[in-house]
Amino acid sequence: MSVYKRGGTYWYDFWFNGSHIRDSAHTNSKTIAKQAEQQRRRDLERAINRISKPARMPLFKIAANRLVEDKRARRAHNTGELYKYALKPVIQEFGGRLVCDISPEDIAGYQTKRLNAEMSPRTVNIEVGALRAVLKAHRLWGPISDAVEMLHERRDVGRALSYEDENKLIDAAGKSRSPALLPLLVLTLDSGLRAAEIRALCRKDLHLVWKDGIIESGILTVPKSKTEAGTGRTIPLTRRACATFTIWLSRFPNADAETYIFPRHSVGVFGKDRRPHLHSVELSQPIGEWKKAWKDACTTAKVRYRWHDLRHTFITRLAERPEVSEQTIMSLAGHVSRSMLARYSHIRSQTKQAAISAVEDAAERANSKSGSPQNPPQSEHEEQPVLN
């Protein structure tokens, strides 16, 4: 008998491939003990025949959340947050399915759906890339990789704001329900900081000169950047950035050197005029997202820009100044990719050509009054050409 009871607990006992297998089933149920014996035999048969035990496929929602936690633990918290935001719409689409049930046709349908929702190809590719990471973690991407095509992305999507649109956006940000939007906007326009770099700024990273309660000048040091070249770079503050910071920093009288310049907070409204005010301020935590406030400001200003276009604006305006070297641009902006540097070099060439053309036009206007030095008036003693 392979199953027997000893001291109130059932055991199983059998021979397998010349080995004596005897173990407790840890139960007082004979039925469960028989099932335990069968499962043990099955596991031994798989092992001796080198048949791996099939893994149970989780729901996509569970697999995606596991991936986010893994990225946070093994890489960085910011990496995990990026995957979290990228996977949010993907989970809404596939969260209730098993990971193994997602097909290339499903992914193509998802791409079409997101494009129809006016998402950019770049955004959709980021989301599909996060989905790919989930499938790779379960070794399911390889068989379908050739059947999935990523969308074509424009490489020239970055735009510089016109001064007219800039004024419209500044006016809209000043009327925004979010008091933080205006200082965020002005700082990005005048420093070219990335959104993640702004979040990381603390009071100790500002070196300010105060006079009569007003910031006269200052320099900020970027404490953390996505690139080694960007970390630690210093950027002088413009006059309007100083004026904006004077008002913004006065909102947090209890802040110290270790607190964030843009701390996490909530916004409420009060009074008959529904004026916004900050509450639930956490000085030791950085600000979250301001996408909705930015989108509302663009709608109010009747323009359409990405937040990252503010950084493009800063770099483009530097590149439009012939006296500003490329080394200075890279020092202020941090790392600039080869493709973007080539684009800014094109802007610089156009600016230089425009400067030369302006000099030529001025010379031509001056010479038209007294004769061009290239074609001086002929002397009356010179022989005139004879026309036949």
Return the pLDDT at 45.
Answer: 85
Q: Which residue stretches of the chain have pLDDT < 50?
A: 376-388
Concatenate the DSSP letters of all residues of 283-296 into one string: EEEE----HHHHHH
Return the pLDDT at 340.
Answer: 66
- 249 and 175 co-located in one domain: yes
Return the pLDDT at 382.
Answer: 45
- 74 and 138 co-located in one domain: yes
Half-sphere exposure of 43 (CA within 13 A, CB side): 7
Separation CA 155–CA 387 (nearest Å): 59
pLDDT tens for 141-176 read 999 999 999 998 876 567 889 999 999 999 999 999
Return the pLDDT at 1.
Answer: 54
Return the pLDDT at 199.
Answer: 94
In a domain, 366, yes or no: no
- 107 and 189 co-located in one domain: no
pLDDT tens for 239-273 read 999 999 999 999 999 999 999 999 999 988 777 77
Average pLDDT, the chain: 86
Return the pLDDT at 260.
Answer: 96
- 171 and 285 co-located in one domain: yes
Return the pLDDT at 388.
Answer: 40
In a domain, 106, yes or no: yes
Return the pLDDT at 53.
Answer: 61
Q: What backbone torsions phi and psi does residue 330 show, to the nearest 5 degrees?
A: -70, -30
* Count of domains observed in the chain: 3
- 18 and 69 co-located in one domain: no
Provide the CATH number for the domain around residue 282.
1.10.443.10
In a domain, 94, yes or no: yes
- 101 and 69 co-located in one domain: yes
Return the pLDDT at 156.
Answer: 59
For the sheet containing 234-236, what is the strand order? 206-211, 214-221, 234-236
Specify burial of residue 373 (Cβ count, 10 A radius: 0-12, 13-18, 19+): exposed
Return the pLDDT at 387.
Answer: 44
